[in-house]
Each structure stands twice: as structure tokens, then as C-alpha cells.
Amino acid sequence: MFSGKKVLITAGPTYEPIDPVRFIGNHSTGKMGYALARRFAEQGAQVQLVSGPTSMKLEHPQVEVIPVMTADEMYAACQQRAAAADIWVFAAAVADYKPSRVAPSKIKKSEASFTIELVKNVDIAAALGKEKKTGQFAVGFALETDQELENAQAKLRKKNLDMVVLNSLRDPGAGFRHDTNKITIVKQNTVEEYALKSKDEVAEDILESIKKEWACVQK
């Protein structure tokens, strides 16, 4: 089903600079997004992987890696490619906020406290969801700590997604810095729960679930 299809995937964290040496970020490694890119490519898709800073490497003739640093850079890269893609997979852990001002030089330690004003970053999935065309398929990710299912279902509706891959930081072995993950796939009418597996196996489960749902969308 994926042979010849164009897939746009985001992966890893974003780093939002405070000054030339400091940033706001998170613990995402990019492992899940890279595993998905590899599996799509192995099944014949042409993959564009927009990756935040990560130590992950992926060399495959059908995968183009587009390195970015900030949420704005990730959004710009996705915006350029989204219209031509058949499937969007938003697996990156994009920072929700960024400093309102980036200091041009290193901020020196002086006072006992230091305040940074933050402003909202663009919500990439939501912004692109407004432009989604008939036949395109969009997958979002939700990492939650409470009211997991309710939050994932709300994200599905608000961002015009076809499915959301939910994982909880309360599940041992799931989330950031693990080679394993435990997911629940949330769709408009169904909820699919999976056991703890390696991220490569989780990627395979996600692709199989996309196949089933996308077949319905294409009809």
C-alpha cells in the first residue's frame, strides 16, 4: 500500500534558543520517528524526515533527512513539503513555547533569580491540519501524564487528524529515552491498545493501523 507514496515525518525535539549557548528543549531522542521512517521506506514509500537535534542516523535511498533546530524551522520545512505528501506523521516533540527574545550574547550570571518571557510556538499539526486535502492522511502523537484518552481524543478533533498515537509517561518503558514504547492508537470510532514492545515493533503496528484506516479514507 505504501509503495510509491510520499510520507512526511517529523521526529526528535526542537531546541528553542535563549542565548548562543543555552536553549529550552526536552528529552526526545527521535527513536520513534526514525523507526517509522525506516519502516515506511522498507515498504516502498518515499520519506521526507524533518528531524530536530538528535544522535539518530538513518541512511536509506528512499529517506531524505531534513535537519532543523527550532519549531519555526520545523514548521517551515513541513509547510514546503506537506501539500505533496500522501501521509503526514507528526512524531516530533515540538516545544510548546519559546523565549520571546533571544539574547545576542551569552547571558552572564548575576542576580539570584532570572526570568524568561515565553511565547507560544506554532502548533505544526494544527496549522497543517487546516490545509489537509481529501485523501491525505494525518497521524499525531500524544504524550500524556493524566486524562490520557480524553486529551488524545480532543487532539484528534481539534487538529483534523485521522489517528493519534497515545503514550503515557506513567507506563514503565514508554516515552522518552527508551528503546521500547507502549501505545494506544486513537481513531474517530475506535481505540486500539497495544502491549509494551520495541520501537521498531511499535512502528510496524502503527503502519498496519494506518493501512486499515487509510483504506477506509480512500473509499
Active site residues: 26
Smallest CA-to-CA distance from 207 within 191, 182, 185 is with 185
* Helices and strands (H, E) in the chain, number of each type: 5, 14
Cα(117)–Cα(98) distance, rounded to whole angstroms?
A: 8
Cα(3)–Cα(172) distance, rounded to whole angstroms?
A: 35
Phi-psi region of 132 (alpha: psi -120 to 50; beta: other; left: phi over 0): beta
Amino acid identity at 65: V
Smallest CA-to-CA distance from 125 within 95, 88, 72 is with 88
Contacts of 160 (CB under 8 A, 6+ apart): 126, 129, 130, 132, 138
Cα(200)–Cα(210) distance, rounded to whole angstroms?
A: 15
- Exposed e or buried b per residue across 69-95, where buried means at least 16 C-beta atoms within 10 angstroms of its C-beta: bbbebbbebbeebbeebbbbbbbbbbb
Question: For residue 22, what are the β-bridge partners?
Answer: 19
Question: 72 and 124 in contact (C-beta within 8 Å)?
Answer: no
